[in-house]
A and B are shown apart, each in its own frame.
Chain A
Amino acid sequence: MAAMQFRQAIVNALADEMRTDPTVMLFGEDVAEAEGPFKTSEGLLAEFGPVRVRDTPISEMGFTGAAVGAAILGAKPVVEIMFIEFLGVALDQVVTEAAKMRYLSNGKLSVPMVVRASCGSGLGFGSQHSQTLENWFTATPGLKLIMLSDAQAAYSLTRAAIQDPDPVVILEPRILYAKRGEVDKNLKIEIGKARVMREGSEITIVSSGQMVDVCKSAIEESGVNAELIDLATIIPWDRQTVLKSVKKTGRLVVVEEAPLSGGWGSEIVATVASSLFGELKAAPFRITSPDIPVPYSGPLETRYIPTKEDVARQLKEVIATGKTPKTWWEMEGLK
């Protein structure tokens, strides 16, 4: 075990994979000489050289597409997208090319590429640099999608993604980069397996990314004996762990950073409602951001993201009343 920052856990995962497998390469904007805008490739150019660690032009469609081709032909490329929004101009390569290649080759080829992107709100980057956008990918069979929540997940899942034979998108909540956590380098986390972060009996909380920490604080503040699950892999998600937990607790809340409409949490709520309807003590529900762009102003952005206070309120309310709590914006008459 070693304590390290979340970003250092990513550096360690990349370095350990590059040491193990000479076909692993990293490219993206300012990842080589500058060692990454968020210092997630510190020391990699020095250790692995300019053939394997490359700066690219500001050209996401070009270099993401190059990763698709390189992956098919024997390399294991990891591309870094500085802000997940920048993948918008390269979605074709991820969704329509990479995710279809195995299918369209009748199983003859695979695309072992990883797309890493920083995401999320909380740092005042404004509405075009603060989204999580994981829901861009959830309806794309052929693609795997991970959202990291702490240093251990960053290390273990980044390594798992590089070793995976299929295309994987990893979202790295930007607000976590400097956060320290314990990392056991021998601990493996499988893609597709959720992490039970805290056991509890009264309600199951399913969350991911930076919301996992918010949920931990909310559990403490509320005094509710909740079971907290970090979904970790959003597609394909771990039905077994979630259903087993809700079977035990009889209640479910999904806490997401993304706006209300179209979120992956709806899929989980729908699955739980369909599978465990007769065993539920309360209607499964979601806590999300409102359906508005991420605002810039500090006080506004702080309210925009689900807060520990609001999650705690809703936890207490559902346990006490069995009814689905209102959103804070409904209570304040804002929508």
Chain B
Amino acid sequence: MSLQLERRKAVQTDEVAGYERMLEIREFENQINGLFAAGLIRGTTHLCLGQEALDIALAAELRPTDTVMATYRGHGVALALGLTPESVLGEIMGKTIGCCGGVGGSMHLADMTLGLLPTSAIVGGGIPIAAGAGLAYQLLGQDNVGVAVFGDGATNIGAFHEGLNLAAIWNLPVIFVCDNNVYGEYSRIDKTTPLEDLHVRAESYKMAHYAVDGMDVLATRKGIKEAVDRARSGGGPTLIEAKTYRFAGHSRADKALYRPEGELEKWMERDPIKLTEENLTKRGLLDSAKIEKMRADMVKTIEGVVATCQAAPDPTVASMFENVFTK
């Protein structure tokens, strides 16, 4: 089994491994900030700090043969699904060891062996594509599931409505997962959307829908499992709204000064990592000494990943001419 698939299996079978992966994502994202400041990453990045629970829940409940079409805010989902930190950071640093060989960058992460299509940097762009994955599974008689992960802002774009409508009329095995982190770029959702609960938009398509507490891994897993079971058994698509919060700004230039005072602090009280620690401690799976050690180890691990990626070679000039066409 490849290292990537082993990483995936760990999250599927072991809650403590799932917690550890959340720590990995958190530490990874924290490091990205520093690497930007040091000029080692170019372009832009979109951090998922605070949204780690959903990524872990998806990785735990989906099979590697299911297809995930996620977004430019994709470091967390890629790591959760099993990509190695070296292949993700390597890609973000534009190196050969990156999952796309360095031609993709932060917004385009992929690993077909784990079911991760190249993440899309177009808001809503992946939603009909995930429906299409479901269409292929329906045609080919496979019991896999297509999954679109997108933000709250995407529910105002045509692709969302067209993708949901198509999945509904064709009863496709698809899960639409809206990661509602309250902000679409720099705008709070109440300025752009006349609804608080976005999942009710599925009503218009006679589609199953509900919200989950996106800060709570177990609650999110339960919601995703219900939708996966429905899709696999021919019951059609589901729209899930995971209520989360973006601890960082939209992208690297955004300090998120537009947030009402106290809003971030209030959400941070329900930091998904903290909630998971409390839950696992209560159940005897973790204790404070273990947590401290895991956190310290992860800092070192990611430091090692950064060093590896910094030392990795840049892609050859010839490599950018490859893979434009199959033939």
Contacts and interface: CB of A to CB of B under 8 A. Distances in A.
The judgment on whether A and B are partners is yes
B248 interface: no
B133 A65 contact: no
A23 B138 CA distance: 11
A290 B165 CA distance: 41
A180 B297 CA distance: 74
Interface string A94-121: 0011001111111111100000000000
A65 B135 contact: no
Interface stretch (A1-9, A69-77, A252-260): A69-77
B162 A59 contact: yes
Interface residues on B, range: 35 or more
Interface string B103-137: 11000101010000110101001111111111111
A65 B108 contact: no
Given A61-B158, A74-B136, A102 B325 contact: yes
B325 A142 contact: yes
Interface in B214-246: none
Contacts of A72: 67, 117, 129, 132-133, 136
Given A75-B140, A102-B323, A142-B325, A108 B129 contact: no
B207 interface: no
Given A61-B158, A72-B133, A104 B163 contact: no
B327 interface: yes
Contact of B133 (A63, A73, A100, A107): A73
A12 interface: no
A310 to B, nearest CB: 37
Contacts of A108: 110, 112
Contacts of B132: 65-73, 77
A103 B120 contact: no
Nearest to A73: B136
Given A62-B162, A65-B128, A106-B323, A75 B139 contact: yes
Interface of B: 67, 69, 99-101, 103-104, 108, 110, 112, 117-118, 120, 122, 125-140, 144, 146, 158-159, 161-163, 165-166, 169-170, 322-327
Contact of A73 (B67, B118, B127): B67
- Contact residue range for chain A? 35 or more
B118 A62 contact: no
A189 to B, nearest CB: 16
Contact of A142 (B112, B165, B324): B324
A66 B131 contact: yes
Interface of A: 23, 25, 51-52, 54, 56-57, 59, 61-75, 77, 89, 92-93, 96-97, 100-110, 141-142, 144, 164-166
17 contacts: A59-B165, A62-B131, A65-B162, A67-B132, A69-B146, A70-B132, A75-B135, A75-B139, A92-B122, A96-B122, A97-B129, A101-B117, A102-B325, A105-B323, A106-B99, A108-B110, A110-B326
Contacts of B144: 73
Contacts of B131: 62, 65-66, 69
Contacts of B110: 104-106, 108
Given A73-B132, A97-B129, A57 B169 contact: yes
Contacts of B104: 104, 106
A70 B117 contact: no
B166 A56 contact: yes
Given A70-B133, A72-B117, 13 more contacts: A57-B169, A61-B128, A61-B158, A65-B159, A69-B131, A69-B133, A69-B134, A69-B135, A72-B133, A72-B136, A89-B158, A105-B100, A105-B112
